[in-house]
């Protein structure tokens, strides 16, 4: 009953706020709690700053019955409100998850579908138990299609989020060695990410499948599917040409170019093409949307800095995405000096030492002139190659690069978010 009451207030509000530092006047404030904060302590401040209502789970925080609603758990109330609102709107929603490329794929799909529909999509990577509800609550009656990214680092999370989102369609980008600390193994990753497909199958909803993925191909007997890939059985047949520069795909003898670094992004482009075709977006408009998409937020960016070309993919890294980037970069044919700057991969648990050493073993035989490894995990690896140099942290490699001769170089920068390797760009900007 309280969810319906909160929803009535939500419909006349300006949206949801969870942080008093950026309260929107006319919004509803949810007093969330975490290990180091308690939103109930700031509920009165939220009202003073213009919130029309505060949802609290501490009775003492409710100063009156008009502006405060007391619930058992504020986070659960937010999640219930999001699910209620999703049912209220009743619009088709596409759910996306996977180990790598979720956000890039989501943004490509958004660009494509926006050619024909009013689409509301997850902002940035707000893809967890808080971000997903906020993304659903950003949709309104003008939204024709919803596009929700779902992330997880433990089993059961995708199932939980799917029960909130109730997607009509779903796509898993891939299954890789990400968050092994939480999933335990690659098999654990597959089981956890596949929770999205299990939810869709149980509810007889449609699955988008990449038939070049061995795991996804196992779902081919499920009749509610729409497929793409080089596989002869794919409904959307594509080709992935070899390229040293930005990713490309070929469909119906037409090349779709992109501004995304790395051939591995071609599958993300193909997914956007497939979903666009399913929703009957004209092919020429799909091509235009893909080619005009400019990556940002340190994901698959190609940056020209003076005489240097930088391939920046420093938003995140795991063993699968790291090796895909390195394998592509190793094949790049160029007259420039090839340099790799890699940061530690996080959340690998007991597999961390082994997986970092696997990367180093590959680099020892790679066609790359200079290799810089950054972080405590890479510091533990062993190598006798003189062109592999290790640094404790990002600040130390910045100091080294400031003294280096950086002209006519092709540079790959990749690492986990915690390494903040994008700070290295400051060095190149200063030298440009």
Q: Give the CA angle between residues 157, 159, 162 to the nearest 5°.
A: 110
Which is it for strands 169-172 and 145-149: parallel, antiparallel or unpaired? unpaired
Question: Per residue in 90-129, pLDDT tens?
Answer: 999 999 999 988 999 999 999 999 999 999 999 877 899 9
Q: Please check the confidence at residue 33 and state whether its pLDDT lies above 80.
A: yes
Confidence bin at 1 (pLDDT 50/70/90): low
Task: Give the per-residue pLDDT at 53.
Answer: 96
Residue 358 φ/ψ, nearest 5 degrees: -60, -40
- Whether 290 shows a pLDDT value over 70: the answer reads yes
Per-chain mean pLDDT for the chain: 94
* Residue 257 pLDDT > 80: yes
Give the mean pLDDT of 282-291: 97
Instruction: Report phi then psi at 160, rounded to 5.
Output: -60, -45
pLDDT in tens, 199-248: 999 999 999 999 999 999 999 999 999 999 999 999 999 999 988 778 99
295-315 pLDDT, tens digit each: 887 888 989 999 999 999 988
Between CA 252 and CA 270 the distance in angstroms is 12
Span 389-415, average pLDDT: 94
Give the pLDDT confidence of 330-351 residue by residue, as tens digits: 988 889 999 999 999 999 999 9
pLDDT band at 178, cuts 50/70/90? confident
**Predicted structure pTM score:** 0.90
Q: What average pLDDT score do residues 85-94 get?
A: 98
Residue 432 has a pLDDT of 67
Per-residue three-class SS string for the chain: CHHHHHHHHHHCCCCEECCHHHCCCCCEEECCEECCEEHHHHHHHHHHCCCCEEEECCHHHCCCCCCEEECCCHHHHHHHHHHHHHHHHCCCEEEEECCCCHHHHHHHHHHHHCCCCCEEECCCCCCCCCHHHHHHHCCCCCCCEEEEECCCCCCCHHHHHHHHHCCCEEEECCCCCCCHHHHCCHHHHHHHHCHHHHHHHHCCCEEEEECCCCCHHHHCCCCCEEEEECCCCCCEECECCCCCCEEEEEECCEEEEEEEECHHHHHHHHHHHHHHHHCCCCHHHHHHHHHHCCCCCCCCEEEEECCEEEEEECCCCCHHHHHHHHHHHHHCCCCCEEEEEEECCCCCHHHHHHHHHHHHHHHCCCCCCEEEEECHHHHCCCCCCCCEEEECCHHHHHHHHHHCCCCCEEEEEECCHHHCHHHHHHHHHHHC
- Label the pairing between strands 308-313 and 246-251: unpaired
């Amino acid at each position: 009953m309280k969810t319906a009451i909160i929803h009535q207030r939500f419909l006349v509000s300006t949206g949801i706020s969870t942080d008093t530092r950026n309260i929107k006047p006319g919004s509803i404030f949810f007093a969330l709690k975490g290990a180091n904060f308690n939103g109930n302590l700031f509920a009165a401040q939220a009202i003073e700053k213009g919130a029309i209502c505060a949802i609290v789970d501490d009775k003492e925080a409710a100063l009156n019955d008009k502006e405060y609603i007391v619930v058992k758990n504020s986070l659960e109330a937010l999640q219930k409100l999001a699910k209620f609102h999703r049912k209220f709107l009743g619009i088709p929603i596409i759910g996306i998850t996977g180990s790598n490329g979720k956000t890039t794929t989501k943004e490509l799909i958004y660009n494509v579908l926006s050619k024909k529909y009013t689409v509301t999509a997850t902002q940035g990577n707000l893809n967890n138990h808080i971000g997903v509800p906020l993304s659903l609550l950003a949709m309104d009656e003008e939204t024709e299609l919803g596009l929700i990214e779902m992330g997880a680092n433990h089993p059961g999370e995708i199932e939980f989020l799917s029960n909130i989102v109730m997607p009509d369609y779903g796509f898993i980008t891939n299954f890789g060695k990400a968050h092994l600390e939480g999933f335990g193994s690659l098999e654990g990753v597959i089981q956890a990410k596949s929770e999205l497909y299990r939810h869709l199958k149980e509810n007889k909803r449609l699955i988008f499948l990449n038939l070049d993925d061995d795991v996804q191909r196992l779902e081919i007997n499920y009749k509610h599917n729409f497929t793409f890939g080089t596989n002869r059985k794919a409904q959307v047949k594509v080709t992935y040409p070899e390229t040293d520069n930005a990713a490309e795909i070929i469909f119906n003898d037409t090349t779709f170019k992109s501004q995304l670094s790395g051939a591995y992004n071609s599958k993300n482009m193909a997914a956007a093409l497939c979903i666009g075709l399913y929703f009957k977006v004209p092919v020429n408009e799909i091509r235009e949307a893909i080619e005009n998409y400019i990556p940002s937020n340190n994901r698959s960016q190609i940056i020209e800095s003076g005489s240097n070309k930088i391939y920046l993919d420093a938003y995140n890294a795991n063993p699968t995405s790291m090796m895909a980037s390195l394998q592509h970069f190793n094949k790049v044919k160029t007259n420039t000096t090839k340099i790799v700057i890699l940061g530690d991969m996080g959340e690998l648990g007991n597999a961390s030492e082994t997986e970092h050493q696997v990367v180093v073993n590959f680099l020892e035989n790679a066609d790359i002139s200079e290799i810089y490894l950054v972080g405590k995990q890479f510091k533990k690896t062993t190598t006798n190659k003189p062109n592999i140099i290790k640094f404790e942290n990002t600040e130390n490699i910045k100091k080294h690069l400031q003294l280096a001769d950086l002209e006519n170089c092709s540079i790959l920068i990749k690492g986990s978010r915690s390494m903040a390797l994008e700070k290295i760009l400051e060095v190149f900007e200063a030298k440009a």
